[in-house]
């Protein structure tokens, strides 16, 4: 297996195109390459000769304008937007205008070129190309015409026509601006007149000249009344307090008083009173030194009490009492009456002043509302006057800017001398050469790719140097791939030839087991190996056909047998050989299906168990045939090939490329003990050489 892997790795890779291979491909197809190249160059010459002549002239133009981002809207830049050159449109917009059809047809009119009426006339018109000169505001106008005079005229008229177009737009905007300003001035003047009329009517209706002075006067009057009201309320409160005090004093004053007449013992009574007074003085002196509950104070208190009792008893004995009206009580009654009168008068005055204060406050409040109305009217008048001033100033500045307006488009150079632009022989021939070379390479590669397939038996022999074992014809009208009646099938003769050739190869060492594979899928190896098995069986040889194509098993379908159990089950150990061998309708022919696919199918096909199984099958039969997977890209066939006596490659001409076929042959030579040769399948009857069959 190591040598097999080495040979596989050393084999050439298909699909990698190198410079050397490209050169060899061109060399192999040099007729196609050079003929395509020459024809392409001749076409380039013909196109250049038939191409109508054209001339181009150019001029440089300076276009003024703002950046694409624009500016904020203010009176200054709005004014500039109407009058300053180039400030109306950004550079990108002016470039679009310069390239517009409107400007183009105006230029045609200025150049005395008739307007197009048909599609052919439109195609014959001059061509205009405009490009920016680096990152500046300078643009190059290129005019391409049918003759040099037309090109020069169009290039010269383009800047002037565009300047006139922009100036016309500017003049139109200026006129609309003037009309707008006059309209706004009229509106503001009418609004000012209305505001002044409203102000005069307001002052006359409300008898107000100076709202601020009137408001101050009314505020002062209201403040004076409020002060008088406060004084009246104070006097009322004082009268209430005096009345309350007099009533309290009246409550303490008796309405009558007692009159005492002294009859006798007056001198004794006076002495006792003097003694009492002396005791009271003495007590006061004691209280300055002692507390009220001190013994000394209590003793003097007892003496005073006894003296008072004695005086009282003497007064009862010597005085005669009688009742009379108390003049102080009467005086208090009169004073209370006067206080009530004062209180009532003060309350009435306070109520009157309160009404006056409320009235003055209402007048002040009313004047405040009038002041707000007056201030609003005055603000309106001031606003309209300021607007009129601003609009008049703006109109004056607008007129000055309008007089100073200049064109935003200026020609920097004279029109260049017209030069012929078509046909450009150098460019045309270079393009024709490049295109022709590319097509020539493509045609050469395509032809070589089409011829890279193995399209003939001779190609197969040249690549493999292997014998042709059989030429099996195609059977387009057959519904059954398996030949069931060899006597009526011409194609079966090819399988007899294949059987005989394999027998001839057994002279040196008998071939008891044979593996049939193909380069790629779809070349018909399963049909070939199945019909070959029939041929061996009909020759009286006991034959076993084993399906080892675990990836796409189909042998059981051809013979109408069960897919399981099969060879896979024997390899897994779940069945023995006797369990999987199935008899067919063909005598001496037995079939073993693929059965259950082992998890490691590739390793199982190359395992010692498989080798022992093949030996067992060889002992049971005269020939064991194996149907396997295609060779390229799969390891199944290389794993199984070392365990069988020989291997053969079934091929369908035109199916595989030369590199793929060579790789498959090399792989079988490396893996199989004996590579028997090539079996050509699905040939034309003439190629199969069965004319005498």
- What 3 state SS string does 580-627 have? HCEECCCCCEEEECCCCCCCCHHHHHCCHHHHHHHHHHHHHCCEEEEE
Query: In 3-state terms, what secondary structure has residue 210?
Result: coil
The answer for residues whose C-beta is within 8 angstroms of residue 646's C-beta and 6 or more apart is: 502, 505, 511, 513, 514, 515, 672, 673, 674, 675, 676
Supply the pLDDT for residue 66. 62
Supply the pLDDT for residue 516. 97
| Same domain assignment for residues 659 and 674 | yes
Supply the pLDDT for residue 75. 45
State the average pLDDT over residues 133-150: 79
Q: How many domains does the chain have?
A: 5
Cis ω before 565 (30° cut-off from 0): yes
Q: What would the DSSP string read from start to end of 424-462?
A: -HHHHHHHHHHHHHHHHHHHHHHHHHHTTB--SHHHHHH
| Same domain assignment for residues 46 and 24 | yes
Adjacent-strand bridge partners of 512: none
Q: How far is CA 46 from the centre of its chain?
A: 53
Supply the pLDDT for residue 542. 97
pLDDT at 363 over 70: no
Q: How far is CA 486 from the centre of its chain?
A: 73
Four-CA torsion 554, 560, 563, 567, nearest 10 degrees: -80
The answer for residues whose C-beta is within 8 angstroms of residue 234's C-beta and 6 or more apart is: none
DSSP 480: -
pLDDT at 357 over 70: yes
Question: What pTM did the predictor assign?
Answer: 0.43
Are 655 and 481 in contact, with CB atoms under 8 Å apart? no
Residues 461-483: tens digit of each pLDDT: 888 899 899 999 888 766 778 88
| Same domain assignment for residues 530 and 520 | yes
| Same domain assignment for residues 391 and 537 | no
158 in a structural domain? yes
549 in a structural domain? yes
Supply the pLDDT for residue 224. 83
| Same domain assignment for residues 565 and 586 | yes
Confidence band, pLDDT 50/70/90 cuts, at residue 57: confident
Q: Which comes out higher in pLDDT, residue 177 or 623?
A: 623
Taking the C-alpha atoms of residue 353 and residue 636, their distance in angstroms, rounded to an integer, is 128
Residues 385-423: tens digit of each pLDDT: 888 888 888 777 777 766 656 677 777 777 777 777 777
Q: Is 666 left (phi over 0), alpha (psi -120 to 50) or beta?
A: alpha
The answer for residues whose C-beta is within 8 angstroms of residue 164's C-beta and 6 or more apart is: none
The answer for residues whose C-beta is within 8 angstroms of residue 64's C-beta and 6 or more apart is: 85, 86, 137, 408, 409, 410
Are 660 and 15 in contact, with CB atoms under 8 Å apart? no
Supply the pLDDT for residue 1. 36
Supply the pLDDT for residue 323. 66
Q: Which of 112-121, 346-355, 510-519 tops mean pLDDT? A: 510-519
366 in a structural domain? no
pLDDT at 682 over 50: yes
| Same domain assignment for residues 203 and 319 | no
| Same domain assignment for residues 412 and 428 | no
Residues 241-263: tens digit of each pLDDT: 887 887 787 777 777 766 655 55
| Same domain assignment for residues 606 and 560 | yes
Supply the pLDDT for residue 676. 93
* Interior/surface letters 278-293, b for 16+ CB within 10 angstroms, e for the rest: ebeeebeebeeeeeee
User: Is residue 20 classed exposed, middle or buried when 0-12, 13-18 and 19+ CB atoms within 10 A define those classes?
Assistant: exposed
Mean model confidence pLDDT for the chain? 80
Query: In 3-state terms, what secondary structure has residue 325?
Result: strand
Taking the C-alpha atoms of residue 18 and residue 28, their distance in angstroms, rounded to an integer, is 15
pLDDT at 203 over 90: no
Adjacent-strand bridge partners of 256: 325
pLDDT at 603 over 80: yes
Q: How many CA atoms lie within 13 A of 470 on its CB side?
A: 29
Residues 267-294: tens digit of each pLDDT: 777 888 888 888 888 888 887 777 878 8
Adjacent-strand bridge partners of 129: 142
581 in a structural domain? yes
DSSP 528: H
Largest CA-CA distance found in the chain, in angstroms, rounded: 205
441 in a structural domain? yes
Supply the pLDDT for residue 362. 74
Are 595 and 566 in contact, with CB atoms under 8 Å apart? yes
Taking the C-alpha atoms of residue 115 and residue 171, their distance in angstroms, rounded to an integer, is 27
Residues 289-298: tens digit of each pLDDT: 778 788 888 8
What is the residue range of 387's domain? 182-207+382-402
State the average pLDDT over residues 590-612: 94
190 in a structural domain? yes
282 in a structural domain? yes
| Same domain assignment for residues 281 and 133 | no
pLDDT at 528 over 80: yes
| Same domain assignment for residues 681 and 570 | yes
Taking the C-alpha atoms of residue 372 and residue 364, their distance in angstroms, rounded to an integer, is 13
pLDDT at 148 over 80: no
Cis ω before 470 (30° cut-off from 0): no
Q: Which comes out higher in pLDDT, residue 284 or 578?
A: 578
Query: Which H or E element spans position 131?
Result: strand 127-132
CB atoms within 10 A of CB 29: 20
Supply the pLDDT for residue 469. 92
DSSP 115: P
Nearest to 234 by CA among 319, 346, 156, 149: 346
Residues 62-120: tens digit of each pLDDT: 877 665 444 444 444 544 555 444 445 677 777 777 778 788 888 887 888 888 888 87
Q: Which residue has the tokens 């004062």?
A: 342
| Same domain assignment for residues 61 and 30 | no
Q: Which of 23-37, 333-347, 413-427, 636-650 tops mean pLDDT? A: 636-650
Query: In 3-state terms, what secondary structure has residue 403?
Result: helix
Supply the pLDDT for residue 440. 85
Q: Which residue has the tokens 């298909």?
A: 14
Q: Which of 142-151, 174-183, 335-344, 542-551 tops mean pLDDT? A: 542-551
Q: What percent of the chain has pLDDT over 70?
A: 84
| Same domain assignment for residues 397 and 540 | no
347 in a structural domain? no
Are 550 and 601 in contact, with CB atoms under 8 Å apart? yes
Residues 652-669: tens digit of each pLDDT: 988 888 889 999 999 999
């Amino acid at each position: 297996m190591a040598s097999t892997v080495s040979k596989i790795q050393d084999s050439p890779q298909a699909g990698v195109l190198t410079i050397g291979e490209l050169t060899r491909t061109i060399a192999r197809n040099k007729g196609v390459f050079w003929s395509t190249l020459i024809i392409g160059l001749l076409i380039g010459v013909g196109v250049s000769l038939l191409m109508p002549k054209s001339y181009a002239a150019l001029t440089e133009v300076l276009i003024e304008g703002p950046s694409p981002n624009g500016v904020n809207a203010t009176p200054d830049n709005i004014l500039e937007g109407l009058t300053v050159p180039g400030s109306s449109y950004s550079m990108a917009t002016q470039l679009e205008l310069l390239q517009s059809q409107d400007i183009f047809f105006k230029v045609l009119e200025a150049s005395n070129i008739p307007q197009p009426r048909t599609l052919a006339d439109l195609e014959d018109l001059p061509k205009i190309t405009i490009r920016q000169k680096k990152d500046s505001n300078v643009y190059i106008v290129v005019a391409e015409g049918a003759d040099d005079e037309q090109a020069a005229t169009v290039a010269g008229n383009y800047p002037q026509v565009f300047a006139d177009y922009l100036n016309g737009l500017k003049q139109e905007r200026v006129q609309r601006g003037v009309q707008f300003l006059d309209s706004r001035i009229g509106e503001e003047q009418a609004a000012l007149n209305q505001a002044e009329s409203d102000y005069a009517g307001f002052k006359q209706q409300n008898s107000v000249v100076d709202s601020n002075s009137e408001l101050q006067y009314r505020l002062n009057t209201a403040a004076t009344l409020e002060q008088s009201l406060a004084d009246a309320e104070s006097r009322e409160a004082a009268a209430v307090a005096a009345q309350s005090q007099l009533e309290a004093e009246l409550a303490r004053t008796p309405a009558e008083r007692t009159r005492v007449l002294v009859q006798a013992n007056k001198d004794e009574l006076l002495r006792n009173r003097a003694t009492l007074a002396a005791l009271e003085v003495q007590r006061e002196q004691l209280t300055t030194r002692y507390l009220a509950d001190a013994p000394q104070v209590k003793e003097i208190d007892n003496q005073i009490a006894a003296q008072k009792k004695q005086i009282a008893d003497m007064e009862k004995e010597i005085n005669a009492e009688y009742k009379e009206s108390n003049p102080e009580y009467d005086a208090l009654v009169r004073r209370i009456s006067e206080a009530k009168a004062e209180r009532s008068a003060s309350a009435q005055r306070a109520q009157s002043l309160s009404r006056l204060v409320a009235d003055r406050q209402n007048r002040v409040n009313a004047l405040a509302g009038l002041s707000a109305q007056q201030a609003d009217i005055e603000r309106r008048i001031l606003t309209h006057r300021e607007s009129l001033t601003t609009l008049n100033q703006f109109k004056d500045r607008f007129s000055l800017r309008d007089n100073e307006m200049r064109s935003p488009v200026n020609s920097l150079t004279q029109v260049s001398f017209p030069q012929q632009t078509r046909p450009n022989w150098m460019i045309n021939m270079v393009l024709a050469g490049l295109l022709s070379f590319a097509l020539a390479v493509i045609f050469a590669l395509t032809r070589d790719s089409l011829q890279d397939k193995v399209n003939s038996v001779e190609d197969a022999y040249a690549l493999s140097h292997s014998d042709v074992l059989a030429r099996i014809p195609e059977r387009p009208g057959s519904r059954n791939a398996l030949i069931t009646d060899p006597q009526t099938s011409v194609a079966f003769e090819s399988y007899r030839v294949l059987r005989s050739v394999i027998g001839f190869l057994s002279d040196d060492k008998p071939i008891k087991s044979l593996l049939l594979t193909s380069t790629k899928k779809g070349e018909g190896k399963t049909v070939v190996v199945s019909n070959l098995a029939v041929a061996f069986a009909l020759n009286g040889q006991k034959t076993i056909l084993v399906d080892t194509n675990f990836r796409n098993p189909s042998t059981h379908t051809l013979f109408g047998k069960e897919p399981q159990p099969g060879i896979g089950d024997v390899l897994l150990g779940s069945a023995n050989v006797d369990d999987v061998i199935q008899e067919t309708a063909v005598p001496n022919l037995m079939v073993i299906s693929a059965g259950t696919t082992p998890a490691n199918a590739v390793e199982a096909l190359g395992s010692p168990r498989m080798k022992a199984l093949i030996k067992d099958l060889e002992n049971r039969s005269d020939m064991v045939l194996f149907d396997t997977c295609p060779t390229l890209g799969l390891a199944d066939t290389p794993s199984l090939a070392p365990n069988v006596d020989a291997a053969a490659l079934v091929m369908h001409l035109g199916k595989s490329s030369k590199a793929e076929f060579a790789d498959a042959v090399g792989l079988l030579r490396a893996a199989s003990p004996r590579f028997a040769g090539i079996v050509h399948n699905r040939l034309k009857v003439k190629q199969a050489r069965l004319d005498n069959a």
